[in-house]
Amino acid sequence: MLRAVIVSPDADMASRLSEMIRSQGQVGLMKLSDRYPSGYDLERFLRANAPQIVFLSIEDLAKAKEMLRGIEETLPGCQVVAIDRACDPQVLLNLMQVGVRECLAYPFESQSYKVTINRLAEQLDKRPAKIEFSDNVFCFPPSKAGAGATTIALNTAVAMSRMPDSHVLMMDLDLNSGLVGFMLKLDNVYTIYEAAENASKLDEHPWPQLVASIGKLDVLPAGRLDSQTHIDPMQVRQLVSFARQFYSSICIDLSGNMEKFFIEVMQDCKKVCIVCTPGIPSLHLARQKLSLLQSMDLGDKVSILMNRAQKRPIISTVQIQSLLGVPVYQEFPNDYRGVHNALTTGREIDSSTELGKQFTQLSHSVLEQSGPKLGAKKKKNFLEYFTVTPTRA
């Protein structure tokens, strides 16, 4: 399945094209944008959707051309199909000079659509869209503190790191109650604060010294409580962008507070896993967070994870789903002993337990949904990238 996005201020044209894409198969539509993203917005748009094909309306030629330059820079190899009502030959000639080889004229016609897609598939086969970053960024806010977000985020990150060709980063962005370092009994010298301070010059900074490595999992803990140091959204964005270049997946643990940088993180990530429990306060807060994210057009990224799900629940799954307005993505059983054993040994929850199996399942389902695994066969690895060897092997 080829991944595509449509960028078109003309809603009618965009919806006709998405109908065509859906009816013909072969191409999966990742996103439809009614405006031309530019600058960092464009970078984020491309990262989050990792398209191989962009159907680009040339209604506003100047903006379309600016976008073409951005696509070439961020995602070389990505194929652009100009879409237009007129498809003026002079304009097309002009576009060919900036690398556009395909055009589809509205109203779209299935035969020419098929021919175009086949040509693009061949082209992509020869020269794949070079995505130099992973789009597998997942964040885990709890609906309410104590719901189990950290437990699920960390154990899912460990499960992801067991998958072949993976290299996973667990980032603790719960600045007030960061527990990841404690849960793994890490003795990191550096924390998220040092990483954030160096966010703008990470290319030169020895990243491996900032993180602790446990097999194929790297951990950036929240560390000390620090009321003086401030982390701003730009630093978090830079950190995540940097990490995307060489990790196959990134899991971010968040607190339940909707701080400024959280929204940035959520905009950047592939999935927002709101962790809640079947109690009324937790469900109430999950619904609040969900509607906030929906109001910011991020609703389609949200998955509800039901932790400590009971065998004979007082509130049924159907009731929960009607209360939240969205289905529960996955349930995690209550396992006090399993969690306790993990905490006392400083390890992940045993993967052979019922709870442990759920983390494996979650890691598989979210990564399968994210399309082809990216970043695993990345062009740079640590040792090529840095001259410094990791502190912990």
Ligand X SMILES: Nc1ncnc2c1ncn2[C@@H]1O[C@H](COP(=O)(O)OP(=O)(O)O)[C@@H](O)[C@H]1O
Per CB under 5 A, residues contacting Mg ion are 149-150, 174
Beta carbons within 8 Å of 175's beta carbon, 6+ residues apart: 192, 222, 226, 231, 255
Helix (H), strand (E) counts: the chain: 16, 13
Which residue number is nearest to ligand X in terms of Cβ? 142
Distance between CA atoms of 34 and 23, rounded to whole angstroms? Answer: 21
Among 18, 209, 334, 353, binds ligand X (CB under 6 A): 334
Distance between CA atoms of 156 and 27, rounded to whole angstroms? Answer: 29
Q: Are 362 and 160 in contact (CB under 8 A)?
A: no
Binding mask 348-377 for ligand X (x = CB under 6 A): -------x----------------------
How, if at all, do strands 271-276 and 137-140 pair?
parallel
According to the binding rule CB under 6 A, does residue 149 interact with ligand X?
A: yes
* Least distance (Å) between residue 275 CB and Mg ion: 9
Return the closest-CA partner of residue 327 out of 358, 298, 306.
Answer: 306
* Least distance (Å) between residue 174 CB and Mg ion: 5
Structure tokens at 354: 């019922």
According to the binding rule CB under 6 A, does residue 150 interact with ligand X?
A: yes
According to the binding rule CB under 6 A, does residue 339 interact with ligand X?
A: yes
* Least distance (Å) between residue 339 CB and ligand X: 4
According to the binding rule CB under 6 A, does residue 142 interact with ligand X?
A: yes
* CB nearer ligand X, residue 179 or residue 202: 179
According to the binding rule CB under 6 A, does residue 145 interact with ligand X?
A: yes
Per DSSP, the residues of 249-272 read: EEEEE--SS--HHHHHHHHHSSEE
Candidates 65-73, 115-123, 298-306, 335-343; binding stretch for ligand X (CB under 6 A):
335-343
* CB nearer Mg ion, residue 149 or residue 339: 149
Residues that bind ligand X (CB under 6 A): 142, 145-151, 179, 275, 307-308, 332, 334-336, 339, 355
